Amino acid sequence: MIPRTLFDHDHEMFRDQVRRFMETEIAPHHEDWEEAGEVPRSAWKRAGELGFLCTAIPEEAGGVGGDRRHAIIMMEEQARLNLTGLGFALHSDIVAPYIDHYGTPEQKQAWLPEMASGDRITGIAMTEPSGGSDLKALRTRAVRDGDHYVLNGQKTFITNGQTADMFLVACRTDPDAGSRGISLIAVETDSPGFTRGRRLKKMGTKAQDTSELSFEDVRVPVFNVIGEEGKGFGYMMQELAWERMHVGISAISTCEAALEWTIDYTRERKAFGQTIFDFQNTRFKLAEMKTEVQVGRAFLDRCLELVLDGELDATTAAMVKYWTSEMQGRVLDELLQLFGGYGFMWEYPITRAFADARVQRIYAGSNEIMKELIARSL
């Protein structure tokens, strides 16, 4: 195996703490949360108490004061146990960076400390019923009215939809300016006119409270605009590269774990007088999958180094998202096959991982869009 060089001793100590938390305080309850369709606020509060939210946000801005390697560890340990219900990464490593990078000092002071403590859960509302990947076509409108904006529109497939206290809403503030007419506005969920729609029933990630949202004449203070009016599309393009790395981190870590589950299972399960592992076909399949995952790990880790150095370009991020999510689908399908009929049973982790992985090729920009972005660099 190729040694990993991303993390130092302090990071690995942090990993031990995160792993203990995930194994003892999250994993035992995750099945119940799948039945309920959401993760309780108590889990968020506990994560905040332990310093596991907003890990890469500077202390002076209200965060924990770590770096993106701490965020990577959080995502890896969550994926290792396939705890797909947790919306921590979206909250800590997508929403919080928008506020940290583009927000005013007053916004950071108002929101980031509560986000780090778990008292304020957040989400981001981009996708609309009429389309997802085509952000330039969004229809949600925000009209200036004195020292407020008045929002109207609908959003769908929104993570943390039932539990969030605040959403960053992508909306159109100038209907005639194309992508330059899109802004990001923070909307608190106790605002009159805001309503949560149904919790969506999905084929996977069942503990994640993915929801529809509606905005009907919602008045939001001008204070809540993130950065400058009309620059929201540019901000989203800037941050989407990091979001696409989340897909790669989850994909590789899940596959590494699934490979271990499958090796263990095939060494124990017997058929025709020998273990499944003893069949040459099984060993060859596992060898193929181990190689694919190792190739993905080497590619991903090099790209994460570029992230840490501030040198990752959007094209390479698209390659990561596209290739790792496709690889995840191939690998989990092959591994599930080795479980036989038990691979079709929901109580087996491989089954959940297989179902949960399907969306990886869809969100953060569909893989068809990723190919288009890559093709533009040819």
Active site residues: 243
Helix/strand/coil for 290: helix
Pairing assessment for the beta strands 270-271 and 274-275 based on DSSP bridges: antiparallel
Contact between 68 and 191 (Cβ < 8 Å): no
* Largest Cα–Cα separation, the chain: 79
Cα–Cα distance for residue pair 311/71, rounded to 1 Å: 18
Spatial distance between the Cα atoms of 102 and 111, rounded to a whole number of angstroms: 13
Dig out the tokens for 13 from the structure: 């100590």
The torsion angle over the Cα atoms of residues 260, 205, 89 and 102, rounded to 10 degrees, is: 150
Query: Kind and range of the H or E element at 157?
Result: strand 148-158
What are the φ and ψ backbone dihedral angles of 164, each rounded to 5 degrees? -65, 145
What is the dihedral sign for C-alpha 278, 257, 46, 121?
negative
Between CA 262 and CA 25 the distance in angstroms is 25
| Residues 151 and 180: beta-carbon distance below 8 Å | no
Spatial CA neighbour of 160 closest among 91, 73, 259, 252? 91
- Is 153 in a helix, a strand, or coil? strand
Q: How is residue 163 annotated by DSSP?
A: T
